[in-house]
Amino acid sequence: MRIWDLPPTVLCRQHLLGEHRELHAIWSILNQNKKGYRHHPEVIRWEGALRALYKRHDMLVREMERRGFQHMSPLDRSLAKGARSPKGYVDDLTRQRLLLKAKGCQCSL
């Protein structure tokens, strides 16, 4: 489970769509108080920052649409409350770039 802190424009198709899917999972966990993955570091860092998570979703959607994908899973804006940024990083930006490069995918770093 990961929400990257890099611009969505650098993500390959796989990572862009994967992050979008995982963002929806985190949104659901936090808004519906679901137990699965509740203690995952990526979920914990977004606690109290649903406004920031909503903003990240918008960024992903804009990039998906730019690439020709049809977005069909909007988030409920009325639930986008809290902080404008998450609680730090699971991995800092330098480490995130290194992790993506090591995957050997088409991400443009």
Q: Mean pLDDT per 10-residue run, the chain (109 residues)?
A: 97 98 98 94 98 98 98 98 97 97 95
Q: What pLDDT score was predicted for residue 29? A: 97
Q: What pLDDT score was predicted for residue 18? A: 98
Q: Are 71 and 29 in contact (CB under 8 A)?
A: no
Q: What pLDDT score was predicted for residue 73? A: 98
Q: Which of 53, 49, 62 is nearest to 16 (CA)?
A: 62
